[in-house]
């Protein structure tokens, strides 16, 4: 199958071709026709499967080219994901006179107000900034026909449940709603039951098992106090063009990146506590391979659009099984192989690794420290 079978309008078809999209991914094959038909959808899909285009393409096909008004609303958990989704919409909207804006904290709210006054067809927003603009009377959702909740599980993890309820309550009842999530929890099913208005379809294209098959997985038994020197030696000894190192907290990420730099490893930390411009500069350096090692937290990794990460290192053991799968899934994207290494320091972590192997029918091989 190729994109021509969706029978998109000329400008959109040209934009899709210009971006180099030839054959749609699995999530695009399954979701695009449903969205074009006007159905509410609940889509379980991982980051890196092409899910942004799975809702951006059909929405751009359905948007009216009349006077700009907020016809489509996309709600996302992080600033980085807001920018990523906005770029995807803007590049696909070339030649269609469709205007898009991303709004999130860390930007000038006055600048956002002025852009909103000019009229925007698509608004991509984080919950907090969107509610702020709504409460000031600078944004209205009265004309919204399409609502997308992207990475809904992460928004729930971040405590945005009440914010999402508030936002949806201010959207017209007659609308099309799309919910995209890496995992489908009881909370998400409850939200869907309350707020998905029309005929709904559940689509599961979770890539967990596929991603696991394409990743060489290892673990290292190491005492906590020895993790830093072993990590530094590991990073110096392997050819890692782009490596993500995962920590649980911002404080650990900052400390670890400084310690690695002192040991001759060029590394930077990135997390939600940094100013937006600093985060953008660091990401640009990582994409261009000027920064080979990026130390990050789980939250920020959800918004990274980087397809050629060679290695993943779990410096801190992930709290949940799904987090492990999501972390290692940042490598081995678009058919490339990847490598993931996890530090284990106690019996509980070894037991959890065993459960991961059994649950996902995979093998995680022990590496000797040093």
Give me the CATH number covering residue 299: 3.40.50.300
Q: Are residues 107 and 21 in the same domain?
A: yes
Q: Are residues 190 and 233 in the same domain?
A: no
Q: Are residues 36 and 118 in the same domain?
A: yes
Q: Are residues 219 and 325 in the same domain?
A: yes
Q: Are residues 149 and 217 in the same domain?
A: no
Between CA 326 and CA 47 the distance in angstroms is 8
pTM of the model: 0.65
Q: Are residues 249 and 200 in the same domain?
A: no
At residue 200, the 3 state secondary structure works out as strand
Provide DSSP, 281-332.
HHHHHHHTTSS-EEEEEHHHHTT-------EEEESSPPSSHHHHHHHHTTSS
**Which pLDDT score is estimated for 10?**
86
Q: How many domains does the chain have?
A: 2
Report which of 211, 227, 181 is spatially closest to residue 44, judged by C-alpha positions. 181
Q: Are residues 24 and 147 in the same domain?
A: yes
Q: Are residues 169 and 122 in the same domain?
A: yes
Q: Are residues 47 and 127 in the same domain?
A: yes
At residue 48, the 3 state secondary structure works out as coil
The answer to whether residues 300 and 271 touch, using CB atoms and an 8 Å cutoff, is yes
**Which pLDDT score is estimated for 198?**
64
Q: Are residues 82 and 219 in the same domain?
A: no
Segment holding 56, helix H or strand E: helix 51-62
Q: Give the end of a domain, one of 156, 189, 206.
A: 206
Between CA 206 and CA 35 the distance in angstroms is 18
Q: Are residues 344 and 281 in the same domain?
A: yes
The answer to whether residues 38 and 176 touch, using CB atoms and an 8 Å cutoff, is yes
Between CA 370 and CA 368 the distance in angstroms is 6
Query: Is residue 329 classed exposed, middle or buried when 0-12, 13-18 and 19+ CB atoms within 10 A define those classes?
Result: buried
Render each residue's pLDDT in the chain as its tens digit; 370 residues.
788 888 888 889 999 988 888 889 889 999 999 999 989 999 988 777 789 999 999 999 998 766 667 899 999 999 989 999 999 999 998 888 889 999 999 888 999 999 998 889 999 999 999 999 999 999 999 999 999 999 988 888 788 989 999 999 999 999 999 999 887 777 788 888 888 876 678 888 765 444 567 789 999 999 999 999 999 999 988 777 789 999 999 999 999 999 999 999 999 999 878 887 888 889 889 988 899 999 998 866 665 667 688 899 999 999 887 788 878 878 876 567 889 999 999 999 999 999 888 877 789 999 987 6
Q: Give the end of a domain, one of 183, 206, 229.
A: 206
Q: Are residues 219 and 133 in the same domain?
A: no
Q: Give the end of a domain, one of 206, 223, 256.
A: 206
> CA angle, corner 348, sides to 183 and 359, nearest 5?
40
What the block records as the tokens of 229 is 């020197």
The range of the structural domain enclosing residue 118 comes to 3-206
By DSSP bridging, strand 364-367 and strand 215-221 are: parallel
């Amino acid at each position: 199958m190729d994109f021509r079978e969706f029978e998109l309008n000329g400008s959109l078809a040209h934009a899709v071709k210009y971006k180099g999209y030839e054959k749609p991914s699995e999530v695009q094959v399954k979701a695009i026709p449903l969205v074009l038909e006007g159905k509410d959808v609940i889509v379980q899909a991982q980051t890196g499967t092409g899910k942004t285009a799975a809702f951006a393409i059909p929405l751009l096909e359905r948007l009216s080219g009349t006077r700009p008004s907020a016809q489509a609303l996309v709600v996302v958990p992080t600033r980085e994901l807001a920018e990523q989704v906005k770029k995807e919409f803007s590049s696909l909207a070339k030649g269609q006179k469709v205007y898009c804006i991303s709004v999130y904290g860390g930007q000038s709210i006055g600048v956002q107000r002025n852009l909103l006054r000019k009229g925007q067809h698509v608004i991509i927003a984080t919950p907090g900034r969107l509610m702020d603009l709504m409460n000031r009377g600078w944004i209205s959702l009265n004309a919204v026909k399409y609502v997308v909740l992207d990475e809904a599980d992460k928004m729930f993890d971040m405590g945005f449940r009440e914010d999402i309820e508030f936002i949806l309550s201010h959207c017209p009842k007659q609308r099309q709603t799309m919910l995209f999530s890496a995992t489908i929890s009881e909370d998400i099913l409850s939200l869907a039951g309350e707020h998905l208005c029309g005929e709904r379809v559940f689509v599961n294209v979770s890539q967990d098992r596929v991603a696991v098959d394409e990743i060489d997985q290892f673990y290292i038994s190491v005492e906590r106090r020895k993790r830093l020197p072993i990590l530094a030696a590991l990073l110096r000894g392997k050819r890692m063009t782009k490596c993500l190192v995962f920590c649980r907290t911002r404080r650990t990420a900052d400390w670890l990146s400084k310690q690695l730099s002192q040991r001759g490893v060029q590394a930077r930390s990135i997390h939600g506590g940094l100013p937006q411009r600093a985060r953008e500069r660091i990401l640009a350096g990582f994409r261009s391979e000027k920064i080979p090692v990026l130390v990050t937290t789980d939250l920020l990794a959800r918004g990274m659009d980087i397809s050629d990460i060679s290695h993943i290192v779990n410096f801190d053991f992930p709290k949940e099984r799904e987090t492990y799968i999501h972390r290692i899934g940042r490598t081995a994207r678009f058919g490339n192989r990847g490598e993931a290494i996890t530090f284990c320091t106690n019996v509980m972590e070894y037991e959890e690794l065993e459960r991961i192997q059994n649950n996902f029918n995979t093998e995680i091989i022990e590496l000797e420290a040093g």
